[in-house]
Amino acid sequence: MSLSVSLKTIAVVAAGWLLCVNASAAQSSPFAGMSGVWSGRGTISLADGSREAIRCRATYAVRNDGNALQQTLRCASDSYKFELSSNVVATNGRLSGTWSEATRGVNGEVQGTTSGGRFQVVVSAGNFAANLVLITRGNSQSVAIRSEGSEFKGANITLSRV
């Protein structure tokens, strides 16, 4: 397994589960109303200055109370593809959970907070961590991911409900 592919995978996992959060429901149940299929595009930035376009399709299943989410995310660029799964729970404005990438055997944790439609999260796996900020506007969600000290430097992805 290549380190750069693993770090890109971690970033996209984080983006994928964050993109499912609905700011209008953030006060009582952050994942309410998000079940279904979403798709979109974005870019990944690497330490060498290169950028790659990426296409993503996500399927979200939300628990009836809107406070837990199961996700499957498939993304592809010209040079790679991956399939991710995550489980995230919201409790009193705090987000926590786990994720895994099946084809590379990578997994880790998700931790963060939500307040007023803004979501701040740290995604980690071993020595790697990425900071994420999500902002929702209507049916469009954008996420910015940044990481220091690795081959992966950032990503910007937008999804819309299909």
Place of tokens 């969600």: 141
Domain span at 70? 3-161
Could you tell me if 126 and 40 are in contact, meaning their C-beta atoms sit under 8 angstroms apart?
Answer: no
Distance CA(126)–CA(19), nearest Å, equals: 23
Q: Give the global pTM.
A: 0.74
Convert the pLDDT of each residue in 38-57 to its tens digit: 889 998 887 788 899 999 88
Convert the pLDDT of each residue in 111-131 to its tens digit: 998 766 667 888 888 877 778
Distance CA(114)–CA(90), nearest Å, equals: 9
Place of tokens 């994942």: 31
Cα dist. 114→76, 117, 129 in Å?
Answer: 29, 7, 18
Convert the pLDDT of each residue in 43-99 to its tens digit: 888 778 889 999 988 888 989 988 888 988 888 777 767 788 889 898 998 999 998
Q: Please tell me whether residue 1 adopts helix, strand or coil conformation.
A: coil
Distance CA(156)–CA(76), nearest Å, equals: 14
Residue 3 pLDDT more than 80?
Answer: no
Number of domains in the chain: 1
The helix (H) or strand (E) run that includes residue 109 is: strand 106-115
In three-state form (DSSP H/G/I as H, E/B as E, the rest C), the secondary structure along 114-162 is EECCEEEEEEEECCEEEEEEEEEECCEEEEEEECCCCCEEEEEEEEEEC
Across-strand partners of 78? Answer: none
The band of 6, judged by pLDDT with boundaries at 50, 70 and 90, is low
CATH code of the domain in which 75 resides: 2.40.128.20
Residue 12 pLDDT more than 60?
Answer: no
Distance CA(42)–CA(125), nearest Å, equals: 23
Place of tokens 């954008």: 142
Which has more confidence, 28 or 47? Answer: 47
% of the chain surpassing 90 pLDDT: 17
pLDDT (0 to 100) of residue 109: 95
Which has more confidence, 158 or 31? Answer: 158
Distance CA(59)–CA(73), nearest Å, equals: 7
